[in-house]
Each structure stands twice: as structure tokens, then as C-alpha cells.
A and B are shown apart, each in its own frame.
Chain A
Amino acid sequence: MEGVGQVAEEFSFDKEKEIARSFSKRFQWEMMLIGVGQATIWLCLWPLVIYGYISLFVGSLIAIVCACFAYLPSHEAQHGNFSRGNPKRRWIDSFVSHYTLITLMFPHDLMRCTHMKHHAYTNNPEKDPDYDTASSKSIWGVIVATQAGITKYQSIAETYKDDKAFMKSFHKGLNVALMYRAILLILVVMFPLEALLLWWLPSKVGVIYLSAFFSWYPHYQMDTGRYKDTKFWSHWMPRYLNHSMQLHFVHHLHPGIGHYDEPKAIEALKPFLVARKVPGAEEIPERVEYNPLIKL
């Protein structure tokens, strides 16, 4: 593994892994609550708007917020952070991910297989499925990249056409994507403005938000290889508004660390990250603040 054996013994990879493992055990109940909660709220918006209990404008604003919260619970599930290796709990990963992604019209299997390739080949121009957004020159470039739609996935499928496991998940996901498209087209005939403002528009805003904060900021202008492909960065927004993506680099090092345990893990791992020269590691504060859920 690139860069693993180049530091003093006290910062060895084994010790780093041991610390990381201690933050990779807790059940991610916050994420489950967010995922199931936002999707349930989003589903409730439909009858509330159609029967006139709330206006379409208010419904649309709530749906946009839901869409911005939709991906991260699925992301935890894609890494198996709900089941934690227990086969009896794998249904939780699957259920949470499928359910939370309804708001974004994303298929779980497609997201999972492409995300695993993103981890394996981060910032590799040919193999990283997120490279189009990560390499954008500006936020505008990210917005343009997000509307590539099916073309992007056709080129990903071409890259991994010989990877049977990948293609199996990919096709499974594609079928779900087609189902979403069919449901949207049926809904738009019956409830045109509701389909536009409760589903289509929020999903677009959600995808732009995700691409900017999950793919672009953490990986922009970064190299390839462990300790080099993701950076610690700062932003004017409180962390809970951008899903703590400033801390995304620790996720790339140890994906098993639960999202809401990342601040504590980073505090513990800071000396290791500085020793490894992780970009931005020296700027990590001694105490990572502004995350209300960590105190619950």
C-alpha cells in the first residue's frame, strides 16, 4: 500500500488501524434516523401538498432539504456500517440505503458499486467514477458535470465491462433507475407540478449539493494514493450544513469509521495524519467542533 511504511514505528499503519477500529464499532443510529426520517417526511409531503394542507412552494423547500440529507445514510450502508459485518443485520444496510435514496431517485446498487470503485481508484482519471466532478475547475463546472446523466454511466460501464461483480450490481441498479424514471413519468401525467417541485427539482439540487461537498471539495486538485487523494479543508459553513465533508479524508483512510464518530477519530488520529503528511492535517484543530449530533 502506497505510503504505508514510511514513518516512525509509533505512527505505524497497524497502530493507526487499531485506533481507527475502535471508532468503527458503534451502530450508526443517527444515520438511520436521518435516512428513514427524511424519506418518510418526503413521502408525507405528497398527500400534504395534493390535499392542500401545505403549499407546493413550502413542500418543495422541505423536499430540497430532504434531498440534501438523503445520500449520507446510504453512504454508510454502502460501506456496511449498519451491519458491521453481521450477516443477520445486512438487511438494515439494504433497507436504509434503498429507502433513503428514493428522494434522490438514485439506485442503491449502482451507487454502491461505483462508490467502491471511487475508493479503489480515487482521482484516477480513467477509473474513478467521480473524477468528472472532482476535476471540475469551479462550482459551475460541478453543476455542468452533474447533468451528464446517462452518458456518464455508459462510460463507467465501458471501463468496468470485464468486472462481472461490478456489472451485476450495475445492471441491477440500472433497472431500479429505469423504474424510478417510469414512476416519475407516470406521476408527472397525474400531478405535473408536484412531480416537478417535490421530486425532480429537489433531486437535482440534492445531486449538485452532494457533488460539490462530497466529490469536489474533498478531492479537488488532489493526487492519487492513500494519504494523498483527499484533503482536510475548511469552509464558512457550520459542519452540520455540509455533512462534515471537511473530514472526508479520514473516511477514505478508514471507511468503517461511522460518520458521527469521525470528529473523535480525527482528534485521536491527528498525529498519525500529520506524520503521513495528509494534506491539511496540520490545520486540524485539537478539538473538532460544531457538530451537534456528536453530543447527543
Chain B
Amino acid sequence: MEKLNTIISNHISNWNMVWFGLIFWGSVFNAIAANYETTLSPILWYACGLLLGTVAKIRGTWLWKA
């Protein structure tokens, strides 16, 4: 059980930005696109979120470095 907790905890601290980008920003981008009635596939908007999260993970921050 402790090992599982450690694995989950490590995964979250390493990949939280990527998951957040995919799910949170992907959903938000998709909703905004739907509001403007774009015909592009939702997959594209979720991919944008994933890309944003991946860039944030590589840079270590969402916006500016302190």
C-alpha cells in the first residue's frame, strides 16, 4: 500500500502539469471553441491543452519564472 502511495505521489508531482493541461485546459479550450461553433475536432483542443501542460512541465512553470 505504501509503495502504491509513493508511486502515485511521485507520478502526481512529476506529471501534474501535463494532466492538468490535458484535462483542465483541454476542456476549457474545447468549451470556448464550442461557444464559437467551430467545426474542428475536440481532440485538437485537448491536444492544445496537452501541449500547454507539456511545455509547462519542461519549463517548470505555467507562465513566468521567479
A residues with CB within 8 A of B: 132, 141, 144-145, 147-151, 154, 178, 181, 184-185, 188-189, 192-193, 195-196, 200
In Å, the complex CA distance between A132 and B65 comes to 13
The interface residues of chain B lying within 8 Å CB-to-CB of A188 are: 23-24, 27-28
Q: Contacting A196 at CB < 8 Å: which of B13, B23, B28, B66?
A: B28
Q: Are B24 and A185 in contact (CB under 8 A)?
A: yes
Least Cβ distance of A242 to chain B in Å?
A: 24
Least Cβ distance of B3 to chain A in Å?
A: 17
B residues with CB within 8 A of A: 12-13, 16, 19-20, 23-24, 27-28, 30-32, 35, 60-66
In Å, the complex CA distance between A193 and B33 comes to 11
A/B pair count, beta carbons within 8 Å: 46
Q: Are B24 and A145 in contact (CB under 8 A)?
A: no
Q: Are B16 and A144 in contact (CB under 8 A)?
A: no
Least Cβ distance of B46 to chain A in Å?
A: 11
Question: Given A178-B12, A200-B24, A132–B31 Cβ distance below 8 Å?
Answer: no
The interface residues of chain B lying within 8 Å CB-to-CB of A192 are: 27-28, 30-31
Closest to B24 in A: A188
Least Cβ distance of B2 to chain A in Å?
A: 13
Q: Are B23 and A150 in contact (CB under 8 A)?
A: no
Q: Are B13 and A185 in contact (CB under 8 A)?
A: no
The interface residues of chain A lying within 8 Å CB-to-CB of B60 are: 151
Q: Contacting B31 at CB < 8 Å: which of A144, A151, A193, A200?
A: A193
In Å, the complex CA distance between A148 and B64 comes to 9
**Could you pull out 30 A-B pairs where Cβ atoms are within 8 angstroms?**
A141-B66, A144-B63, A144-B64, A144-B65, A147-B62, A147-B63, A147-B64, A148-B61, A148-B66, A149-B62, A150-B13, A151-B61, A154-B13, A178-B12, A181-B16, A181-B20, A185-B20, A185-B24, A188-B23, A188-B24, A189-B23, A192-B27, A192-B28, A193-B31, A193-B32, A193-B35, A195-B24, A195-B27, A195-B28, A200-B24
